[in-house]
Amino acid sequence: MMLFALPHTRGPCFVCRWLCQCLYWNVGNVRMDREDTGRASGTQMILGLCVFLLSTTSTVIAADQSVLDAEQARVAMIERVAPSVVAIFASSGNGGGSGVLITPDGYALSNYHVTSGSGTFMKCGLKDGKLYDAVIVGIDPTGDVALIKMLGRDDFPAATMGDSDTVQTGDWVFAMGNPFLLATDFSPTVTAGIVSGVRRYQYPAGTILEYTDCIQTDASINPGNSGGPLFNATGQLVGINGRGSFEKRGRVNVGAGYAISINQIKHFLDGLRGGRIVDHATLGALVRTGNDREVMVDEVLEQSSAYRRGLREGDEIVSFAGRPIGSVNQYKNVLGIYPDGWTVPLVYRREGKRSEMLVELRSLHRASELQAKPKGPEGPRPRPQQPPGDPKKKPEPKPQPDDAPHPPGGPAEEAKAPEQWKHLFEEKAGFANYYFNQLEQKRVLAGLSEFTSLSALTGRWKFAGQTADNRAFVVTLADAGLGMTIGKDLVFFQPLDNSEPQDEPPNTGGLLIALHHFKQMVTTGPSSFSVVSYVGSQPLDGRGPTVDVLATQAGIVQTRWYCHRQEGRLLGWDSSLGNDVDPCSVRIDSTAEFDGRRCLGTWTVRYGDQTFGTFHNAVIELQAAK
């Protein structure tokens, strides 16, 4: 049998030629050596191998082509999304991190622990090699998220946000960013891996920072990757890289990185766009693991909405916000993805009976905790010490924020704001940047335009009509006081003097004062209130359409106004006579025209979990001030 030196030519043609040569020479060998049985049998084995290889060549070629196609698709995807990846630097030049653009007008996501050390204004580089100015917009100190706005363009390349609830263990993912500040031309570094786990919980470690419902990946996340995007195989943004587990020596990733899920960020995104320091939520209850591994309520605050709805110690939590609860970690995971003020469904079991309630979530932190000045970029972290008595045992890697390389020392000095952009920042207590809150206020208030014709009618108002149960009613809103009659016998009055507002009619949460605030909002506008702010967005009443939320306050009365997120129109409002009490909830079922002016048509009033009544206005008398 003859041996052949394989030429360097590649491709299927070379394979076919080589097999044909083997076949030709070995057929000759069989013919010449047919008397030599042993040699013939060996040659026949070669012939058989050649036939087999020839028969499978097309399959091999097809498989190779599919690999090449997948590679080309991956390269194209990375090329498509890479322009949206941001390299973030402090204006002073100290430290850095990563981010990702999410809108063409320049809004970009990053980590709070990245931007907190970069100052109010920062520098951001893109793959195009250009450096742009950027300003802080909103921050989430608990969830380790920040929103910035890059400046100078309105056509930035933006990533497409995906659905992180569809991410599964084993999915391919790609982490992008600027680890170790390697890319001096701002071209992002790409690392690939799989999703190692979903809905992971990372407890707070000496700070209020808490990672809930996060994505675990073995894609390499190193110092400088913080705030950068985690893309799925189709190039959709499914997370923001933040924490990593690092080896005992140095800051080298050991294959356990964590990304904040994009669906959690979506819950907070409008609040961040409003320039707020957003807070996460608490139910107002402590839970524990029961004897049968069920999640039991250990304690409930009496001031909480959950307590007012009937949740008590010893109840079993079955599901929360639509997700089954099988452990304390699962409960913390779900709770941690919601902002304070949201309403969510809760299912519990007591003595074998399942019940459901809607609960309003409370703020997790005090305002002073959220507004504490961050420590900024830090120097080298202390190394974990070996456990005493066991020098051979290595300590477990601990998850920690993946800071970019920083010089030792405290926070970077605040650089001077660029002259052309300094108007884009307004400092105010409780806000990361009040300038952007005012922008959102103006946008939402524009949704009240259907009531513009009422603006001059600041005098006496009178509503008259029928309730859903066919009782006549009359509402009077005057400068001296507020009154209401229902049927023949029920009369209610609220003076407008220096006395505190009352729950009138009783068990409405203060309907008269709530209607008075509606009149003030559509006539005088925001100037009627001592406090006005844009809160963010949420599902109306936990299950309805997404609404923008505007908060106002006058005296002790706090009101939240709900405007349809897409259509802008006012859907209703909640007015509370103080903290930790159920509000009077007014929902606008329809509006109607009276003498050419649009006002409330049919409206429903609820208090707690009870409906007080539905009212249909038949006559409205509106007067200008005398």
Residues 232 and 211 in one domain: yes
| 260 membership: H or E segment, kind and range | strand 253-261
Residues 611 and 487 in one domain: yes
If one counts every other C-beta atom within 10 angstroms of the C-beta of residue 481, the result is: 14
Residues 522 and 487 in one domain: yes
Q: Which residues contact 498 (CB under 8 A, 6 or more apart)?
A: none
Domain-embedded: residue 105: no
Domain-embedded: residue 28: yes
Residues 463 and 549 in one domain: yes
Domain-embedded: residue 409: no
Catalytic residues: 113, 144, 226
Q: List the CATH number of the domain containing 573.
A: 2.50.20
Cα 564 to Cα 270: distance, rounded to the nearest angstrom = 13
Domain that holds residue 196: 164-273
| pLDDT, position 185 | 82
| pLDDT, position 44 | 59
Residues 516 and 608 in one domain: yes
- Indicate the pLDDT class of residue 557, thresholds 50, 70 and 90: very high
| pLDDT, position 290 | 87
Domain-embedded: residue 147: no
Q: pLDDT tens digits for 252-298? A: 556 788 999 999 999 999 999 999 999 999 999 999 998 888 999 99
Closest Cα partner for 151 from 425, 408, 375, 341?
425
Residues 568 and 612 in one domain: yes
| pLDDT, position 392 | 44
Examine the fold and report which residue of 330, 364, 398 is the final residue of a domain before the chain moves on: 364
Domain-embedded: residue 77: no
- In the numeric block, the tokens 């082509």 are attached to 65
3-state secondary structure of 338: coil
Domain-embedded: residue 42: yes
What does the block give as tokens for 446?
């524009």
Residues 611 and 473 in one domain: yes
pTM for the predicted model, two decimal places? 0.83
| pLDDT, position 198 | 94
Q: Which of 35-44, 139-148, 497-506, 509-518 has the lowest mean pLDDT?
A: 35-44
Domain count, the chain: 4
Domain-embedded: residue 326: yes
3-state secondary structure of 551: strand
Preceding amide of 179 cis, omega within 30: no
Q: List the CATH number of the domain containing 266.
A: 2.40.10.10
Q: Which residues contact 139 (CB under 8 A, 6 or more apart)?
A: 112, 115, 116, 145, 146, 147, 272, 277, 278, 432
The arithmetic mean of pLDDT across residues 21-30, rounded, is 50
Domain-embedded: residue 152: no
- Indicate the pLDDT class of residue 391, thresholds 50, 70 and 90: very low
| pLDDT, position 340 | 95
Q: pLDDT tens digits for 74-117? A: 999 999 999 999 999 887 666 679 999 999 999 999 999 999 88
Residues 462 and 536 in one domain: yes
Residues 465 and 496 in one domain: yes
Residues 266 and 351 in one domain: no
Examine the fold and report which residue of 273, 300, 334 is the final residue of a domain before the chain moves on: 273
DSSP 322: T
Mean of all residue pLDDT scores within the chain: 84
Q: Which stretch, 156-160, 390-394, 411-415, 595-599, has highest mean pLDDT?
A: 156-160
Residues 574 and 607 in one domain: yes
Q: List the CATH number of the domain containing 294.
A: 2.30.42.10
Cα 41 to Cα 55: distance, rounded to the nearest angstrom = 21
Q: Which residues contact 57 (CB under 8 A, 6 or more apart)?
A: 12, 15, 16, 19
Q: Which of 317-326, 408-417, 533-542, 593-602 has the lowest mean pLDDT?
A: 408-417
Cα 571 to Cα 544: distance, rounded to the nearest angstrom = 10
Examine the fold and report which residue of 246, 273, 300 is the final residue of a domain before the chain moves on: 273
| pLDDT, position 51 | 56
The arithmetic mean of pLDDT across residues 532-550, rounded, is 96
Residues 597 and 498 in one domain: yes
Cα 573 to Cα 514: distance, rounded to the nearest angstrom = 8
